[in-house]
Each structure stands twice: as structure tokens, then as C-alpha cells.
Amino acid sequence: MTTLYDALTLPCGQTLSNRLMKSAMSEALGDKTYGPTPQLEQLYGTWSTGGYGLLVTGNVMVDRTQLGEPGNVVVEDERHLEGLSRWAKSTQDSGTPIWMQINHPGRQANPMAFRLQPVAPSPIALKIPGASKPRELTGAEIEDIIERFATTAAVAETAGFNGVQVHAAHGYLVAQFLSPLSNQRDDEWGGDTERRMRFAIEVVRRIRARVSPGFAVGIKLNSADFQRGGFTEEESRDVVAKLALEGLDLIEVSGGSYESPAMMGDAAKSTVEREAYFLEYAKAVRDVAGGTPLAVTGGFRSRTAMESALNSGDCDMIGIGRPACTTPDAANVILDSREPALTAHHIGYSRTGLLSKVTNVKTINSAIDLGWHEDQLHRIGNGKEPDLGRSKLKTAGALMRRNGRDAFKKKRS
């Protein structure tokens, strides 16, 4: 039986001290030159003493002309190497490994972050208000982006990070290539499942070729899009089987996109009772993953559910997301049995109140809830305690300052 306390040795030889992982959450704490800030060092230094076996950063972009949101860190070369090295060292002084999540937003690029037309596999806009139509990538541009992922990973290793995680979920560019809804190409990068998965496979291969054998390479993959005609669980299973042959060290299971946000619990209802939204999917791909460890993030709160998931063998790591915003030492809370479960906070307005008569409350609540949690990360980054009493009005003001008129569109995680 696997326990929360057991170490996990990854295929690359890296050993994680326990089975609890701080999953990626967008911090929006980059500076005006897209470099890391002292606030990121403070935030991750705080998390490094929280008992986690692994810390995964939020979105680090591979192209400064295509950003997910204002405040993203971008790594295209070594211009911010000194700051990146301090960021990596902020966790390693406590013995906690840190992986950089690397990403390209594709058609989910935020126009307030950089006013250029987004790019995507096909010129198909997101089905959310205000989304702009992307430009279809050329073959040469696709090759350039693959190389950008590899370069970012190589810089991360030089800076001292212990690994990278490719973001291939939640509707970002890698996921856009996988989905038939967003990838309607008829060349070598689209069409059947085999060609749609080629971009993800090539990104992983190019990264592995550029980094040392002991540097960890992971991926965050959708179980499904949860949209009619989209990326299915059967296709995702095929992708896992192929990725398992590419020397990956960890596959983190998630699901959905910002058109259908299953990662926030709005879909995948069949497993909500077990807390983990995507645990049943992890069980379904366990056999094709081979020796590649699986992580499940999304909904875990109680120690009982975490232990049950590990004991069943359905996954190897438990991801903790939002609770780490308000309880920085969430892993220790579980490992030390200080509480039977982590506290989750849901911030928003009534869906039947006055506001619901004049606007889309669901969209506003999505932004307010994510913004409220982001505010907590900013407080920790500034050396302050989380403010559980922070008002929705203050959060709305902070969102407007950070994101301008796009503050209440669907946000990234």
C-alpha cells in the first residue's frame, strides 16, 4: 500500500520526498520585462517549508508576444537567468524540488497583455464573449514554437530548476492541437488523432533532447475537453500511451477548457463524490501509462480521499491547488494530521440576486473567485498572511488594475 509519506523515484532518477504536489496556479507576479520578481521568490520560499514533495510553478510563457495574462513570466533566452536562479534556489534551500510549468496560450492569448492577433492550429475563435479570431500557424511557425519549448526548458535547467511541466491542458496551445474542435488542419499537424497528437509528442521529444537525463520532464494533460465533438477520453488514452514511450517523468491528469471548465468542478460530476474530479480517468489510463507516474489534481480536500486514491494505485501523486493559496503549508496540515481536510474557499455573488438580472454572474464569479485566490498569492509574495476576509469589491478592484477591461472574462489557471 502506498502512503502519503512514501518517497517517489521518477524515471529520470529524481526522488520526491512524499506524494503531495503543489500544482501550478498562475501567480501573475512577473515584472514589466517579463522576468521573475522577489515576490515570486518569497511565495515559493514560503511554500518550500509547507511539506510538499514537489512544487510546480504557474504558467511561464515561451513567447513574449503571446501571453496568457498580464504578469506572466517569459523565458525565451538567458536574459533573466540571475532572477530565475534565485527563484529556483528559493525552494531548494529547504530541499524541495521545483519544476517550471511552460506554456503557450495559442488562441487564449490575452489582448490586454500584448495587443497582437493570437495564433492557433486553425483560425477558430474561443466560444466566449470578446474572444478574437486567431491566425492559423504556418508549418515554419509550428517548428519555431516547438523549439521555443525546448529552449525554455534548457534555460530552466541552467537556472537550477529540477524539471519542467509542459502545459497540454485547459485549452492552451498544446491542447488546441489535440482537439478536433480547435485543430481542423489537413496537413501533418492535424486530421486524425495520430497527427493531432504530433505537436505534443514533438515538444516532449525536443525538450528531452535538450536537457540532461536527470532533469525531469512532465506534462499536464486533459482527460477530455468536455465538449461535444472535442478531445475525448478515448483519444486522451491514446495520447497517454504514446507519451509513455517518450521518457516522461510525470503525467498530471486534468480536464476541460475555458469554454467548459471541468478543472474547476463544473463538469466531470461522476467523481465529485470522491473529491478528485479526474480520478476515474487516471484509473482508466493506468495500464497504458506503463512506468510513468500519474498525478491527479482537482478537488482533493480530505486526507481520507488522498490516502484512498494512493492506496488504490490509481495515481502516484496528489496535486493540491487552491487550498495552498490560503493554507501555504497545506501539505504539512495533511501529513501531520492537524486537520482531517483542507478548507476550500468559493468567492462570488448569488446567481439569483439582483446582479443576475443585468449580467452573466457565472462569468463574473469565475473571475472573482480566481482573482481572490490570486490576491492571496500576492499577499504571501509580499510577506503577508492570507486575508480570508478580503472582500469581493477589493478583489474586483485588483482585477481591474491588473487586467483592465478584460478582468471579468474567463481567466487562466
3-state per-residue secondary structure call for 161-206 = CCEEEEEECCCCHHHHHHCCCCCCCCCCCCCCHHHHCHHHHHHHHH
Predicted confidence at residue 267, as pLDDT, reads 41
Question: What CATH number was assigned to the domain covering residues 8-346?
Answer: 3.20.20.70
Exposure of 219 in the CB half-sphere (CA atoms within 13 A)? 28
Residue 359 is predicted with a pLDDT of: 63
Report the pLDDT value the prediction gives residue 163, as an integer from 0 to 100: 98
Helix (H) / strand (E) containing 142: helix 139-159
pLDDT of residue 349: 77
The pLDDT assigned to 360 comes to: 67
**pTM listed for this prediction:** 0.91
Q: How far apart are CA 20 and CA 328, in angstroms?
A: 13
Per-residue pLDDT of the chain (413 residues; tens, 9 = 90+): 899 999 999 999 999 999 999 999 999 999 999 999 999 999 999 999 999 999 999 999 999 999 998 999 999 999 999 999 999 999 998 999 999 999 999 999 987 766 789 999 999 998 776 678 999 999 999 999 999 999 999 999 999 999 999 999 988 999 999 999 999 999 999 999 999 999 999 999 999 999 999 999 999 998 755 445 567 788 888 999 999 999 999 999 976 555 444 444 444 444 445 467 788 888 889 999 999 999 998 889 999 999 999 999 999 999 999 999 999 999 999 999 999 999 989 888 777 666 655 566 677 777 888 899 999 999 999 999 999 999 988 998 888 887 765 544 544 44
Of the candidates 327, 175, 195, 201, the one whose C-alpha atom is nearest the C-alpha of residue 261 is 175
SS3 state at 304 = helix
Whole-number pLDDT of residue 344: 87
Task: State the pLDDT at residue 300.
Answer: 92
**pLDDT value, residue 388:** 95
How far from 399 is each of 51, 116, 373, CA to CA, in Å? 30, 22, 11
Residue 58 amino acid letter: G
